[in-house]
Structure 1
Amino acid sequence: PALLRPGRLDRKVEFSLPDLEGRAHILKIHAKSMSVERDIRYELIARLCPNSTGAELRSVCTEAGMFAIRSRRKVATEKDFLEAVNKVIKSYAKFSSTP
């Protein structure tokens, strides 16, 4: 409210949620810093994360890495990403105020 008073910020810039292609690209960016299998289908994972923010997608990648570590593996697999989607995205949906 105080930031929106006249003279403070003159413009509002809206950042919409990423589309399918954007979500897949965000997942690839975060997976670059991880040890992952080469044949991971990022578009499939992105399809399972509709209306997700970049932060939520980063959490998916982080959780996929944790699944691999807990399984005592050095490389995250597509299965790890799918399990991470079930854990992270479903939990965000549970606590989200939007349907």
Structure 2
Amino acid sequence: MQARLARHAVECAGLETARLWWDYFQLGGEAGMMEVDAFLNGCLRLPAAHRDLLARAINELVEGAPVARVPFSWEIAPSGDDTGPQEHDSTPRTGPRA
């Protein structure tokens, strides 16, 4: 869902993937431009932290434009294929839920 909303915002704002990728990279993103493009086209899943950096980059680039804001992963109800907010922290877990 986050990828679809991101793609919609990018298309409506007329953003180029290279510009989006550069802003995402400047925020600390580690995925390459091809991976970002594949994510926006629904061909690749990215961890929540990377999706959220892309959402932040998109939201900053379209600020003030009549484009819907891209939600962060924790703002979207978890689905069966999403591991949810725990992806934000890469700290190893211990205990029965690890």
Whose RCO is larger (CA < 8 A, sep 6+)?
Answer: 2
Calculate the TM-score normalised by the size of structure 2: 0.31
Work out which of the two has the higher radius of gyration on C-alpha atoms and give 1 or 2: 1
Calculate the TM-score normalised by the size of structure 1: 0.31
